[in-house]
Amino acid sequence: MVRDTIVRTGQCHCGAVRFEATLSDGFNSIRRCTCSYCRMRGAVVVMAEMGGIKLLQGEDALTTYRFHTGSAQHFFCSYCGIYTHHQRRSDTTLYAVNVACLDGISPFDFAEAPVMDGVNHTNDTGKPTRRAGTLRFIPAH
């Protein structure tokens, strides 16, 4: 399998946190999730493998949030509150990166993003992750 590794820089809204993300499969891993937290947060994410996020500045500005089992660690800027990335629960060797934080990228650059069923999480059900649907962006003309 050929992977489309892409390295992008990114930041939170206020710029206190800057990072570099090595997206192990480029933008092919784009997705949303239906779990209670992701549903409220509304971020579109892509994956970086363990070691694929390098903080360039603002490590001291990052704060974390954990819920439910506590295995997923969600990172936020403590100044502006923007979610930059999180360590995934279903595979703790992967980080999900908020595409809206990547320089020159917007969630609206993608016509479609798969939506994964986080309500029935694979770690709770023992079943493979199910695709719940598709998020579509249709620009006005």
124's enclosing H/E stretch is helix 122-125
Query: What's the rounded mean pLDDT across residues 123-134?
Result: 81
Q: What is the pLDDT of residues 75-118, one digit of tens each?
A: 999 999 999 999 987 788 889 999 999 999 999 999 999 998 88
Q: What is the pLDDT of residues 51-77, one digit of tens each?
A: 999 999 999 999 999 876 767 789 999
Instruction: State the chain's mean pLDDT as an integer.
Output: 90
Encode burial over 78-93: b for 16+ CB neighbours within 10 A, e otherwise.
eeeebbbbbbbbeeee
Put simply, whether the predicted model's pTM sits higher than 0.85 gets the answer yes
